[in-house]
Structure 1
Amino acid sequence: MLNDPRSHGLWERTAPPAPLTARLSDHVVADVAVVGAGFTGLSAALHLAEAGASVVVVEGAEIGFGGSGRNVGLVNAGLWVMPAELPGILGPLHGERLLDLLGNAPALVFKLVETHGIDCEARRNGTLHCGVGAKGADELAERARQWQARSAPVQLLDAEETCRRVGNSVYTAALLDQRAGTIQPLAYARGLARAALSAGARIYTGSAVVSSRRTGGAWHIATPHGAVTAEWVIVATNAYTVGAWPAIRQEVVHLPYFNIATRPLNDNLRRTILPERQGVWDTKDVLSSYRFDNAGRLVIGSVGALRGAGTAIHRSWARRTLALLFPQLGPVEFEAEWYGMIGMTADLVPKFHRLDERVLSFSGYNGRGIAPGTVFGRALAEHVTGRLAEADMPLPVTAPAAQRFRRLRETYYEFGSQIAHISARV
């Protein structure tokens, strides 16, 4: 994307084409201006248009350019934070409300896929959170206990059952979450865009917002070659925020994450690895993940950026890790590699901001963007159209708070992941 093969890698090569869009080159008027064509912005645009609102989406690059088009494609429920901790962070009202919303969030993703016929390799067969060592097994046991206390369909698997589901004996336990699944994320973003356009939304790409000002009770959102006048503005730029509304970018620390895809494996090998095709991630501090795409490519990823010395270091780590996890693979050929940035908040919980009068945003997804972005986009649409009061939103309104030592921490994450991967074993 934008002539960078490491921005979206396999996903760009295998996703259906994006719907035809152009840059904004005129002055247009709408009820709502949505800034950013990722999961949140496109979900908001779709639900707004279906509710009868006039909506314009302006995207600085291309549909799905940010984390929405680069991530692993695990459609998970909940957050990294343990379920029982959320009420303590957000208060009992919003804590329980968010747990309920995000626990059921994957269902909305798969419903939209089905309703709009989105071709995105959707598989709703659960995900496996795999435990490394005794500490990992204990963490998963507690996570399972907390979700099961809320009647969530999760199952704690012992080492033997984990081995059968994954195809190796590396892990001490696994948590199977039957609410979850996998998608091709860039294909999903493009499908949401196509659905939003069909519902009446207008989408302009290559149209970065350069300024925003309030004039006569409406917002004037300027791009290099055009402008939007709207009563409401939804800012859905998250970790890829540039230019206007810099407070969103200052609130999140960039955590780089890369993925590398093998060539399609033969049928015999594919039967020995993830036979039920769940996506996997583990409990390590520098976590790793892997999954299959529909063509039988094994996609492995971890923390790190594929640039500078990191490219060779992380590529070597991927080869060693696959050899340790699945020695039956033998020498593997890689077909694609790519990376992006995750926006991490200080408490690992997303944020809902009223940036100005009738200017709203959700951001800080902490590596859980697909399902939360989809349901938060719907919530924003329902609030703008008057169906959901601010007091009933899934998160309380907070002011953006810049993280201390943000740049230093971002440097630490990028180079620390290189050090971790130089000598890492599974």
Structure 2
Amino acid sequence: MTQIDGKTAIVTVEGLQALLQTIQSRGYRAIAPTVQNQAIVYDDIESIDDLPRGWADEQDGGRYRLARRDDDALFGYSVGPQSWKKFLHAPKLRLWTAERRGDDISVAPEAQPDDRLAFIGVRACEIRAIEIQDRTLIGDLYVDPHYQALRARALIVAVNCGEAGGTCFCASMQAGPRVERGFDIALTELLDGGEHIFLVETGSDEGRALVAQIPHRAASDREIEAAKALIERTASSMGRDMRSDDLNELLTKNLEHPRWDEVATRCLACANCTLVCPTCFCTSVEDVSDLSGERAERWRRWDSCFTMDFSYIHGGSVRASAKSRYRQWMTHKLATWIDQFGSSGCVGCGRCITWCPVGIDITEEVRAIRGHDASAEEPR
């Protein structure tokens, strides 16, 4: 564990409030989980009273419900429908504005954001998702300047998972439940015998500076062991599992597997899975103008490989069937993403399972293809 002043720290609930106030005093916009519209969603908060105190979530294929816990845990849920992607890689973004004055036309690019975002309550799988988006959007020849500007100033206060969700399989993807890196501050929430405390680790100079300004004490060996045991219990109680070490070969050798036809009969091509996924990055661009023709704008918005128009080229869609679109999404996410970016595009958060209206389960689809590997029957 990363130590603070030579020791692992403990803060109380009041200390967490002090941490939030310190973060805000340093010019950060604090964004954290809140309860809205019967779901856990990320939004601006003013105090820890805005956190989902005493709430848990029940998740399964095509099912999400909030339920009351029997304690006052602030982070006693798994993940909701939103990811931090919505703040770093905005669903809709104006790219430039053009104006005509007589014969003169001026084009002004959208100014880069200067927000300092503090994400509070980030899970291990979500940190891994941010790392994947970093590789995609700023880690290659072509850099997204808006994402880069926001990411460079973002503060991450992570939370180790104390309870796995019904559709979680982050352990299978080596993406959780313990936060290993990519954070400024990491919390483990402990409720034992009426005591409500947080074990604190730091991962950056900014994190250490923040914690140094709030009341904290050294953690005991018992508290450190309790935190480790909590995370180990979470890892052993995943709602789903999926073997992931051979997915690239398995899926690319089974592009004509009969399972693709079967899943296509259930898939609505609604794009829910891509919209809730924390790593999907596909966008499209559209131009709009006013009625006078004096002003035009170009906007970028989230898109999905499940839409017919996404692969529209020269008068037709490359992937016209639901079968081809589902196969494209799943094989890219789990297999060819590795060829393209060097890692899987899946972090095992389970959102695509929970928020699929018909409960299609990506882990079950892999299991079905693995159970009858058509490529294994090809003559040698």
Normalising by structure 1, report the TM-score: 0.26
Normalising by structure 2, report the TM-score: 0.28
Write 1 or 2 for the structure with the bigger share of helix: 1
